């Protein structure tokens, strides 16, 4: 792995698994990231093998902190008890043990939205901000991270609030936009309902929006009608990788 990298981040998503070495001084990739499509049957073994392929590709050295951001609530030392958007055979799996077995590496696993939240708080749109920062990722699902005065409250899972009688992410994620071929305006109206609900329940000081679609925020932000300030993630879709790498570095002492 190249010299300026002090940690490695991997982001496991519903459509792609992405990894890059990270320069922790700058909160940036130290080399071009590698993206491999998520296996169509996304079993634990298949996903762990892609993680291995990415680590091998970059020749990640032993001792380098490795963070894996993952789309499920993560309680260290406990098996996964819920999986929304990857294969259901993940339920009951000890993800740390599985990755160790398939790759020979010890990694730090963190919920993907929490990783993005930590990345944004450390390097991005929420850097140095007090109060309640509420990060949402809009992708295959909706992920949430709550950071109060710089401290993460992990595993909030508020993409699964009920909205219009269904799981909010079924109604308002970026996948819902594609699946139902919604215009930016129509999707923006749905997002308004979602963000108004969060506003009402949590009174955040700012919303930060991550996920692949955050780079196109000018198309849909104008349609989100809320009073709380809302900004795109400064690291855009890289926040998960950078945040996971940073998070792993803070756990490895």
* Residues of this chain that bind ligand BGC (CB under 6 A): 71-73, 84-85, 111-113, 137, 139, 141, 143, 157, 159, 169
Closer Cβ to ligand BGC, 85 or 122, answer by number: 85
Closer Cβ to ligand BGC, 30 or 172, answer by number: 172
- State the minimum distance, in angstroms, from the CB of residue 170 to ligand BGC: 10
Q: Which residue carries 């000018």 as its tokens? A: 218
Measured at CB, which residue is nearest to ligand BGC?
141
- State the minimum distance, in angstroms, from the CB of residue 175 to ligand BGC: 10
Closer Cβ to ligand BGC, 84 or 152, answer by number: 84
Residue-level length of the chain: 253
DSSP for 94-131, please give it: -HHHHHHHHHS---EEEEHHHHHHHHHHHHSTTTT--S
Looking at the DSSP assignment, which residues form a beta bridge with residue 144?
A: 136
CB burial of 25-46 (b: ≥16 within 10 Å; e: otherwise) equals eebebbeebbeeebeeebebeb
- State the minimum distance, in angstroms, from the CB of residue 215 to ligand BGC: 17
Dihedral class, residue 182 (left if φ above 0, else alpha if ψ from -120 to 50, else beta): beta
CB 32 within 8 A of CB 74: no
Residue 160's nearest CA partner among 127, 133, 197 is 197
- State the minimum distance, in angstroms, from the CB of residue 13 to ligand BGC: 7
Closer Cβ to ligand BGC, 85 or 249, answer by number: 85
Closer Cβ to ligand BGC, 64 or 214, answer by number: 214
Cα–Cα distance for residue pair 97/77, rounded to 1 Å = 9
Closer Cβ to ligand BGC, 64 or 137, answer by number: 137
Looking at the DSSP assignment, which residues form a beta bridge with residue 166?
A: 163
- State the minimum distance, in angstroms, from the CB of residue 69 to ligand BGC: 9
- State the minimum distance, in angstroms, from the CB of residue 192 to ligand BGC: 20
């Amino acid at each position: 792995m190249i010299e300026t990298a002090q940690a490695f981040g991997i982001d496991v998503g519903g459509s792609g698994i992405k990894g890059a070495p990270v320069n922790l001084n700058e909160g940036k990739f130290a080399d071009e990231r590698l993206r491999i499509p998520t296996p169509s049957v996304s079993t634990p073994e298949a996903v762990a093998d892609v993680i291995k392929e990415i680590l091998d590709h970059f020749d990640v050295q032993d001792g380098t902190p490795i963070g894996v951001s993952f789309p499920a609530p993560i309680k260290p030392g406990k098996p996964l008890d819920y999986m929304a958007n990857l294969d259901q055979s993940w339920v009951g799996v000890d993800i740390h043990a599985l990755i160790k077995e398939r790759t020979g590496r010890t990694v730090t696993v963190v919920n993907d939205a929490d990783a993005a939240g930590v990345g944004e708080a450390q390097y991005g749109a929420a850097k140095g901000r007090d109060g309640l920062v509420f990060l949402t990722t809009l992708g295959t699902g909706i992920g949430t991270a709550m950071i109060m005065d710089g401290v993460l409250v992990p595993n909030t899972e508020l993409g699964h609030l009920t909205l219009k009688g269904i799981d909010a992410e079924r109604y308002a994620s970026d996948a819902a936009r594609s699946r139902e071929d919604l215009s930016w305006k129509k999707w923006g109206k749905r997002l308004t309902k979602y963000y108004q609900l969060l506003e009402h329940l949590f009174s955040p000081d700012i919303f930060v929006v991550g996920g692949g679609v955050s780079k196109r925020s000018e198309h849909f932000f104008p349609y989100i009608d809320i009073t709380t300030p809302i900004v795109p993630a400064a690291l855009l879709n890289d926040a998960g990788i950078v945040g996971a790498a940073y998070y792993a570095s803070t756990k490895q002492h």
